[in-house]
Structures are given as C-alpha cells and as structure tokens.
Structure 1
C-alpha cells in the first residue's frame, strides 16, 4: 500500500483493539462482497486463486501489453464500489477507537503496472489474488509494535483456526522497508483481498521513503491495450 508521505499521529494499540479491528475488516469485507455479487446478475465470476496473470495479460512486444477486456471489466466494477467499503471501515474504526488508521484504493495505473511487472516474471504464473491483493488497503502504525507483534500473530492464527477466517499474514522486508502485512481473503476466491499493513512507529519515516523509491521504479509506463 503506497501513499503520499503523511506522518500519522502516534498511537499505542491494545491487543483487544487489534482483535476488534481484524473482525471489523473481515466482517465488512464479506458483507460488501455478498452485496456486490447480488448486484451483478449474469456476470462471469472469476476464481481469482486459479486465474493467473498470464491468463489476463499478454505481451505483444517489449512495450505493449494486452489485457483481457472481460477481466478488466470485472476488476473495474469491483474496484469502483470499494469507496463504500473504505468509508464504512474507516468510519467504524475511528468511531470505536481514536486511532491513526489510514487507507486508500489502488489507482488503475498502479494496478496495470503491477500486472505488467508480474507478467514479466515467471511468465506470469502468479494467482491474481496474490498479485492484486491490495486493491483496498489500510495501514496502522503502532508505538507498541515490538511488544504486540507475537500476540498479533497468535490472534490471527486463532481467528483462522477457531472462527474460520480466511487470512494470510506475514512479515514483509524489502530493502529498508519493514512491516507486517495481513490479507483478508473474504469468504471465497471470487473477490479481491483486503490488505492491512501494521508498522512500527520507529519504521514509519524509512518505510515512507522506501515507498517513494519503489514508485520511482515505474517511470516508464508500458502501453496497455484491451482485448475482447
């Protein structure tokens, strides 16, 4: 989840707050997805775990990529409705906790370039729900991250094992960047995941700088066409 360089206010999270936030994210994502599906009669539903980058984008030459129109429409329809889920989650969490959560919806340029980048790696043999796992992303920065992280992992594992949450979580290290990334996968693989990043307050400035460097890697955008 990249963003403009905004310093978030310091906040110390309790383990109870983490558990409540995880439940809010999971429940609202599932409810949103159910409503979205109900409003898409006749639409072709993708299994995003079994659909790979190479299935939806092809390379015409070094500078031109072609994206499948049906998939693009599916993704765009879904993304366009995320503003409602974003507003609902931000509103609920800030109402319950006076915390520093921020979020964003991934822009189209970033989406297309991430697909292009992954198409060039291993011939695009990556599941869509592993590549486009952050169409909607949130971030919290915890002053007590060091003491909380092992408890966070335990909570997430318990939610998976005891309550059936479909969650992936892992430490993310990329150069100077350090964060803990949590992916809420929803009820099934027809929908795109939601990402939550948890940062240590001590890592905030260097992580923001790392995001700026990462974005500069995409200075020359490929031409992308659509195929029906």
Structure 2
C-alpha cells in the first residue's frame, strides 16, 4: 500500500523534488480519500489542518466578500496541491472547496508538510517560484476580467479556463471539467443571459462546443495566444 502511494505521489511536481529518504519519512502521513460530486472538502473559516493533492476529478474553490456582492471562483485540476493560500502562515482556510465531479485526493497534516518543506531548500525555492507564478496569473486574470464589456469578460473567462484546465489533443483544446453557463457567469461576474448569448454565438461560429460535460475549443486563434499551464499550485 505505502509503495503504491509513494509511486503515485512522485507524479506531483513538488513531491518529486524530495529524495526517497525524505519521502519515506512522511509517506505514512499521507492518506487517500474519495469525495462525491457536491461534497465539501473544507469551508472558509475552518481550521487549516490539511493540505491536499488532487489525484482525480476537479474541485472548485470559492470565496465571497462580506456583503456577498462578489464571489471569487477558481478550479483545480489533477496533480495540483491546494490550498496554497496561507501556507506557513494562516490558521484558517480562506476559501470553501467543493468537488465539482467525483474526486480523489491525497491529504497530509499541515504541520508535517510545512516542516518537511522548510527543511528542504529545493522545495522552498519551488514554493517561492510557484507563489510568484500564481501571483502573476491572478494579476493577469484581474486585468482581463476587469473589462467593462460583459461579452469580453465571458470570452476572457473561457480563455483562462482553457489555459488552466485544458489539454491539447490534435488541433483542439479540451476542458474535461464540466462547465455550465451558470459556472462561467459566476466566474466572469456576468449575467447568465450574456454568457448564454456569447456561448451560442461561439457555437454557431464553430469556435467551441460544449457536449458530454466537456468543452471543446476548435478555433484557438479566436482567443489570441492560448498558453496551457501544466504545473501550478493553487
């Protein structure tokens, strides 16, 4: 069992930095758990006891402001560590996390992982670089989604989701995470009617299709340059 877990954990970029001895020291602290679609992994304000590594499926993190006027949404795909926000610092989770599909995760006690990372210079360099990448990504997202034109926010949201959730297959980009007009509406802070109109037009123009709980992007040029992000913590 432990050998199987060890092999699977090596697929995670952060944990692949550790040598066999370092990983052996903490392997017994990792646990595998399955969640059904709609199950909550943790709530905003819960004590931050675990760090998760997504193995299968997709989860969504979200956070509302005090007046419930704005909600931040983001999605996490397999082989990412989460939540990254608050590492080495926060006592409580800053987001609510929910499984949007059936999902399988590894989790480990926060104190155990943070000690392991702090004792490993290479891991700390990785954490620092990942924080920088994550900050740049979120800055870019804010810039693109601050557009006053609602339809443009929808287009930029689809592009962002393609870059962060999509995989290239032939000439297409496929987003395996199920997305609805409501999801994109929440993500882009745009009305569902506007999202439906923009998606309808893109489907008619054969730019994208949404079927079988997947989103297919046929015309990448429509969105400008799409750069797929394969490794990133969240």
Give the TM-score normalised by structure 1. Answer: 0.26
Q: Using CA pairs under 8 Å that are at least 6 residues apart, name the structure with larger relative contact order, 1 or 2.
A: 1
More helix per residue: 1
